[in-house]
Amino acid sequence: MSEVSYETVMLEEPTLPKPRYLFVGLPDAGLVGQIAAEYLIRETRMAEVAHFYLQKLSPTIVQVSGGLAKPPIRLYYSQNMLVFNSWVAIPPALATDVAELVCSLATKFDVYALISVTGIPVPNRLDLERLGVYWITSNEELAKETEKMSLAPRFDEGYIAGPYAPILLESKRRGLRNLVVTVESFLDLPDPEASAAAIEVVSKFTGFSVSTDNLLKEAEAIRARIRGLMEETKKNISGRAGPTTYA
Amino acid sequence: MSEVSYETVMLEEPTLPKPRYLFVGLPDAGLVGQIAAEYLIRETRMAEVAHFYLQKLSPTIVQVSGGLAKPPIRLYYSQNMLVFNSWVAIPPALATDVAELVCSLATKFDVYALISVTGIPVPNRLDLERLGVYWITSNEELAKETEKMSLAPRFDEGYIAGPYAPILLESKRRGLRNLVVTVESFLDLPDPEASAAAIEVVSKFTGFSVSTDNLLKEAEAIRARIRGLMEETKKNISGRAGPTTYA
Amino acid sequence: MSEVSYETVMLEEPTLPKPRYLFVGLPDAGLVGQIAAEYLIRETRMAEVAHFYLQKLSPTIVQVSGGLAKPPIRLYYSQNMLVFNSWVAIPPALATDVAELVCSLATKFDVYALISVTGIPVPNRLDLERLGVYWITSNEELAKETEKMSLAPRFDEGYIAGPYAPILLESKRRGLRNLVVTVESFLDLPDPEASAAAIEVVSKFTGFSVSTDNLLKEAEAIRARIRGLMEETKKNISGRAGPTTYA
Amino acid sequence: MSEVSYETVMLEEPTLPKPRYLFVGLPDAGLVGQIAAEYLIRETRMAEVAHFYLQKLSPTIVQVSGGLAKPPIRLYYSQNMLVFNSWVAIPPALATDVAELVCSLATKFDVYALISVTGIPVPNRLDLERLGVYWITSNEELAKETEKMSLAPRFDEGYIAGPYAPILLESKRRGLRNLVVTVESFLDLPDPEASAAAIEVVSKFTGFSVSTDNLLKEAEAIRARIRGLMEETKKNISGRAGPTTYA
Amino acid sequence: MSEVSYETVMLEEPTLPKPRYLFVGLPDAGLVGQIAAEYLIRETRMAEVAHFYLQKLSPTIVQVSGGLAKPPIRLYYSQNMLVFNSWVAIPPALATDVAELVCSLATKFDVYALISVTGIPVPNRLDLERLGVYWITSNEELAKETEKMSLAPRFDEGYIAGPYAPILLESKRRGLRNLVVTVESFLDLPDPEASAAAIEVVSKFTGFSVSTDNLLKEAEAIRARIRGLMEETKKNISGRAGPTTYA
């Protein structure tokens, strides 16, 4: 809805079979979606599709990989899946700009559905052996389809805030399909186990082939590596109204 | 008066007999108006008329109902009544935008009068057996008419602030009829009993048929369910000048 | 000087003999000017001339009188005097907008002079039997005239801040006559006695006929009724540089 | 450089022999320049040349002198000297606007040089019998000329911040001559003795005839009278990087 | 990317053999780059090329050198090297403007590569006998070239924030070569030894001839002189996400 100001630098024209999906990885509670996105990129050796330069993303943070500087928001793909991932926390003031960008990409690449993965912080997370997974959709058609697939129970009543909320609302406004997979998670500890649970559901929904074995094996290392991003993200989460009721 | 920026998505063209009324439910002291609006919607199984996307409503909050995402400000109707309800607190900075939107809807649907319901916090609320109800109108013609109906005594001298104030002022400026029903209530505890008292008066004024029995029965459950919204709303209320004198 | 945004709704075309005066009542130290203005309106049963809708006056506050909603800034008149009065505190950020509006009204109604009344807080106010009154003018011509009338001594050296300051400066810039009557007063207690002392001087200057007897009789009741407005006004006064030297 | 918004009201067309000078008096450390400017105005009975209405100077402060209201920034002259003086503290956000205004006046009246006087706060000010005076210039030509006159040693290495800094930079940018006379002074006590030391140097540089005897005699009275302005000015000075090295 | 507003005053048209380099000295952790830049300017008696007037650089700070005022951001050169140096801390809000300016200069003078030098704060800095130096580049071509020269190991994985980050990102966006030399350093103590280590690498990369002997000899004096700038710079650094992982 608002005026967007970013520049897209295309590195490669991706070739994906249909139906295609756009997986969105943004730092949020437990970094559940971001860890999932980064894992998909590494594990399936995705190709770099585009770099995004967001004018208002201040202060500027540059990611360095193998001595090479890169803007921290990038697009990747393999098989039938595009992955949009941010290696930096999205300030709340930029969340609607990012939602615009993500929805534009969904249209540009003619994807069947946007897929978001977000954590629902639960106080008893440590005691949970099996993490509850629930879905939300942007429209009734996708809700029916998801219900038929028996992937997970639906998120019944409540609210969604955070960086995935404007994407969900903007998808609905534009008539795009957006499947939001919510997983019980820690609030401000990186939660790779929650990411794994979400990937299982996403994999079933999209047919994208990936094993979460390595994600679970490397959980400890990921938690350590991603601590800085969790700190930055915490500043945006704290004091925010999370989902208040579900299932 | 200010430049409004929202998008309306119409779901259904409502058919209402005349004279029509537009009931406005916004989170304010005791959530009196919001609880009343939501009760009317549920109890009389109102049909969904429109969704509103407010650009400046930040951070974005999405309401989820039965797994389906919805923008949290929506319009409903049944019989001769439209109900505009917000499931999220309105930041003071957006109150005039919402007033614009509400007054535009009153004109669009050619309603006879806007109806607002708001709580007047009283310190001795717990001791009151019967809650005082008082009315305010946007113009003399409606004041005379209301006086004749002997619905309740008038609000004599004082001030009105909060989300209903810009609607009242904008109605006056545009020459629209706005009946404000004020009820003695709690400040920051959801007050379904106050909502019930207001609905009785509104029902007499509009001829809209509804029983408040279920509202009083479910009062405890409503108080529990709506706690999160009350918390958000408290932030806007605190430090605000409420009505200072009345009756 | 700045871009003004308000809407004026005229209720009646006033008929005043010349020379006409525009009395300005704005909440400031001791509410001296505001109490004086409201007293003139009530005591001489002034007619309502216009309502003003100020776009930027946020949060919106609506005044209710006899069940009827009114914008809290209005224009009245009787005999040769227009009275502009605000029933709400003017945020400092709006003071220049109000100055524009007031000076435009002075031109529109072709008044001979604007008349402001403001309190000069003195620490020993309680001990004063007779309150010092001093005048300031926007130009030399009016200064000479005022001096000749021996109404009161002049305010010799110092500064004026608060809501009357931009009116005084804007009057000077536009070449309008502005008489400022300053009275020793309380800082943050409503001071009807100071208002009465000012009205005596204003009455002599303009020939406007009014007795201050009732104002002095009702002093206690006024102090009680106007407490809320004093609280709001205090927020704007505190920390402000008041007149630093005088007489 | 930025867009300036002020209105100049000319009271008199000054007649000055060439070379002319524009002395700038702005409240800063020790009020050294402001006290000097006001002394020049009073002592040599300068004529009032212009009043300046700065739109963004908020909150509005009006100076009163002999019952007459005046904008607190004004221009005076006598002999070969114009004096620009502000009776109010300049908020840092307005400093570049004032620099624009001052440089425009220098061009309009075709002055040979702008002259600024500013205090360099020194911790041992109380122990100093003779105050160090140092000069800075906006360009090399003026530096050579000043050096030849042996008025004082030059300010060798360091930084200048505060309201005189943007005037110095803007003069340089526009190719105007600006002589800055810096004097050791108190930080937040009005320092008329420092003003006197500066005036001696300015007098030699410009040929402007004035004795500083009265300034030294009235030092105590000035300190008392100007306390309020010093308080306002302190808010702008505190936390600012002053000149860090000199001589 | 954003609208830049600065004015460039050219003092001399520099004549440099190709390939030319643009060394950027901005105050950041340990002032490593700024100290290096100032040393290159002094030690090789560089000629002053240009002065930059940045409109938004507020509050205005003027540098004084030998009694002469200068804007604190200037361009110098000798041999095949241009040096852009800021004698004042760059507020984060201005960092993208400075990046625009620096990249424009790189294009204007047709340089082969931009060279940035920045400190990586390490807690055990005091214990290090030999400081680790690592490089980052804006593109793969330069990365390969740098790798071949065996100047230093590459910065492997991590993030770069601070004033050099937007220059790196903007260089990448414009397709300019930017070599960033990072050196282990103190966080908020000026670190001339780190600057010397960086200069060694830069000298090898560019062929620019300079000895760091004097820099090491004067280290103590530099640390004392530059304390004020370090204080200003600290305000921008504190709370910032520095490089989180390397080597």
Indicate which CATH number applies to the domain containing C181: 3.40.50.10900
Q: Is the pLDDT of residue C237 over 50?
A: yes
What ipTM is given for this predicted complex?
0.90
Looking up tokens 């801390």 gives: E89
Q: Which two tokens stand for residue A154?
A: 């639906």
Q: How far apart are CA D180 and CA D165, in angstroms?
A: 10
Q: Which amino acid does the sequence have at D216?
A: L
For residue A8, which amino acid is it? Answer: T
Amino acid identity of A153?
Answer: P
Residue C125, classed as helix, strand or coil, is helix
Say if CB E166 and CB E138 are below 8 A apart: no
Predicted pLDDT of residue C213: 97
Q: By the 8 A CB rule, do A114 and A25 touch?
A: no
Interface contact A139, partner B, CB < 8 A: yes
Mean pLDDT of the region B12-21: 95
Instruction: Quote the tokens at residue D209.
Output: 């005839």
Residue B245 pLDDT greater than 50, yes or no:
no
Q: Is the pLDDT of residue D246 over 60?
A: no
Tokens found for residue D20: 């002319």
Confidence bin at E3 (pLDDT 50/70/90):
low
D7 touches chain C (CB under 8 A): yes
CA distance B192 to C130: 56
- Model pTM? 0.90
Do E93 and A53 make contact, defined as CB atoms within 8 angstroms? no
Q: Kindly give the interhelix angle for A164-174 and A95-108, rounded to the nearest 10 degrees.
A: 50
Given its phi and psi angles, is residue D169 left (phi above 0), alpha (psi -120 to 50 degrees) or beta?
A: alpha
Dihedral, CA of residue E231, residue E232, residue E235 and residue E240, to nearest 10: -100
Mean pLDDT of B77-90: 96
**A55:E1 CB<8 A:** yes
pLDDT level of residue C206 (50, 70, 90 thresholds) = very high
pLDDT above 70: percentage of residues in chain B: 94
Contact status of B145 with chain A (Cβ, < 8 Å): no
Residues of chain B above pLDDT 90, percent:
86
SS3 B102: helix
Judge whether residue D4 has pLDDT over 70: no
User: What integer best gives the mean pLDDT of chain D?
Assistant: 92
Which chain C residues are Cβ-neighbours of B90 within 8 angstroms? Answer: none
Dist. CA E16–CA E21, nearest whole Å: 9
Contacting subunits of B (3+ beta carbon pairs below 8 A): A, C
Query: In this complex, how many residue pairs, one in chain C and one in chain D, have their CB atoms less than 8 Å apart?
Result: 88
In a domain, D242, yes or no: no
Residues C215 and C211: their CA atoms lie apart, in Å, by: 8
Q: Which residues of C touch B139 (CB under 8 A)?
A: 68
- Whether residue C69 and residue B178 make contact (CB cut-off 8 A), yes or no, is yes
Phi, psi of E197 (to 5 degrees): -60, -40
Q: Give me the long-range contacts of E98-102 (CB less than 8 A, separation at least 24).
A: E98/E26, E98/E54, E98/E73, E98/E163, E98/E166, E98/E167, E99/A60, E99/E166, E99/E167, E99/E169, E99/E170, E100/E1, E100/E2, E100/E4, E100/E170, E101/E4, E101/E6, E101/E52, E101/E54, E102/E22, E102/E24, E102/E167, E102/E170
Range in A178-192, B19-33, D144-158, E49-63 with the lowest mean pLDDT: E49-63
* Cα gap C99→D155, rounded to integer Å: 46
Interchain contact, D65 vs C245, CB within 8 Å: no
Say if B93 falls within a structural domain.
yes
DSSP sequence for C144-195? HHHHHHT-S-B--EEEE-STHHHHHHHHHHHT--EEEEEEEE-SSS--HHHH
Within-domain flag for D243: no
For residues A167 and A114, the answer to whether their CB atoms sit within 8 Å is: yes
E243 part of a folded domain? no
| C-alpha to C-alpha distance for B113 and B107, rounded to whole angstroms | 10
Residues of E in contact with D93 (CB under 8 A): 58
pLDDT tens for each residue of C30-66: 999 999 999 999 999 999 999 999 988 878 899 999 9
Chain mean pLDDT for chain E: 92
| Distance separating the N- and C-terminal Cα atoms of chain A | 31
Say whether the peptide bond before residue E19 is cis (omega within 30 degrees of 0): yes
* Amino acid code (one letter) for D180: V
Instruction: Give D149's pLDDT tier (boundaries 50, 70, 90).
Output: very high
> How many Cα atoms are found within 13 Å in the side-chain-facing hemisphere of E99?
29
Q: What is the pLDDT of residue E241?
A: 46
- Does residue B72 sit at the C interface (CB-CB below 8 Å)? no
In the predicted structure, residue B167 carries a pLDDT above the cut 60: yes
Using one digit for the tens of pLDDT, what is the confidence trace for A7-33? 999 999 999 999 999 999 999 999 999
| Minimum Cα–Cα distance from D88: chain C residue | C159
Question: Rounded CA gap, D222 and D192, in Å?
Answer: 7
Note whether C62 and B159 are within 8 A (CB).
Answer: yes
Round to whole Å and give the CA distance between D203 and D184: 18
Mean pLDDT of chain B, nearest integer: 92
pLDDT of res. B3: 52
Searching chain B, which residue's CA lies closest to the CA of residue C63? B159
CA distance B15 to chain A (A): 24
pLDDT band per the 50, 70, 90 thresholds, residue C95: very high
Do the Cβ atoms of D64 and C243 come within 8 Å?
yes
Query: Does residue C77 belong to any structural domain of this protein?
Result: yes
Closest residue to E168, CB basis, from A5, A9, A62: A62
Residue E242 pLDDT exceeds 50: no
Name every chain D residue with its beta carbon within 8 A of the beta carbon of E55: 1-2, 96
Query: What pLDDT score does C177 carry?
Result: 98
Measured in whole angstroms, how far is the alpha carbon of residue D37 from the centre of its chain? Answer: 6
**Residue C214: domain span:** 6-237
- Give the per-residue pLDDT at D5: 76
| D133 located within any domain | yes
The pLDDT value given to residue C240: 57
- Grade residue A58 by pLDDT with cuts at 50, 70 and 90: confident
Tally of domains within chain D: 1
The H or E element that residue C203 is part of is helix C192-206
Alpha-helical regions (H) of B5-139:
32-43, 95-108
Partners of residue E146 in chain A, C-beta under 8 Å: 67
In three-state form (DSSP H/G/I as H, E/B as E, the rest C), the secondary structure along chain A is CCCCCEEEEECCCCCCCCCCEEEEECCCHHHHHHHHHHHHHHHCCCEEEEEEEECCCCCCCEEEECCEEECCEEEEEECCEEEEEECCCCCHHHHHHHHHHHHHHHHHCCCCEEEEEEEEECCCHHHCCCCCEEEEECCHHHHHHHHHHCCCCECCEEEECCCHHHHHHHHHHHCCCEEEEEEEECCCCCCHHHHHHHHHHHHHHHCCCCCCHHHHHCHHHHHHHCHHHHHHHHHHHCCCCCCCCCC
State the pairing for strand pair E113-121/E68-70: unpaired
pLDDT tens, position by position, A158-212: 999 999 999 999 999 999 999 999 999 999 999 999 999 999 999 999 999 999 9
* Chain segment E26-74, per-residue pLDDT in tens: 999 999 999 999 999 999 999 999 999 998 887 889 999 999 999 999 9
Q: Is D170 helix (H, G, I), strand (E, B) or coil?
A: helix
Nearest CA to A163 out of A145, A186, A140, A180 is that of A180
Helices C32-43 & C192-206 angle (0-180, nearest 10): 60
Buried b (16+ CB within 10 A) or exposed e, B168-206: bbbbbbeebbbbbbbbbbbbebbbbbbbbbbbbbbbebb
Cis peptide before E59 (omega within 30 of 0): yes
- CB contacts under 8 A, D 151-170 vs E, are 154-162, 165-166, 168-169
Dig out the tokens for B214 from the structure.
Answer: 């279920």
Which 3 state secondary structure label does DSSP give E205? helix
Residue of C nearest to B3 (CA): C55
Q: What is the DSSP letter of B110?
A: T
Using 50, 70 and 90 to split pLDDT, how confident is the model at E6?
A: confident
Is the separation of the CB atoms in B209 and B203 below 8 Å? yes
**What's the pLDDT band for E238 if we cut at 50, 70, 90?**
low
Of D1, D92, D159, the CB nearest to E62: D159
Asked if the structure places residue A242 within a domain, the reply is no
B69/A96 CB distance under 8 A: no
For chain C, give the mean pLDDT: 92
pLDDT tens per residue across span E128-183: 999 999 999 999 999 999 999 999 999 999 999 999 999 999 999 999 999 999 99
- CA neighbours closer than 13 Å in the CB half-sphere of residue A173: 23
Q: Report, as an integer, the average pLDDT of E11-38.
A: 96
Chain A CA closest to residue E146? A67
Q: Residues of chain A with pLDDT > 70: what percent?
A: 94
Tell me what pLDDT residue C246 has: 34
Q: Is the pLDDT of residue C6 over 60?
A: yes
Predicted local distance difference test score (pLDDT) of residue C1: 39
* Domain-embedded: residue E132: yes
For chain A, say whether B126 makes contact (Cβ under 8 Å): no
**Minimal CA–CA distance to E164: which of E8, E14, E22, E3?**
E22
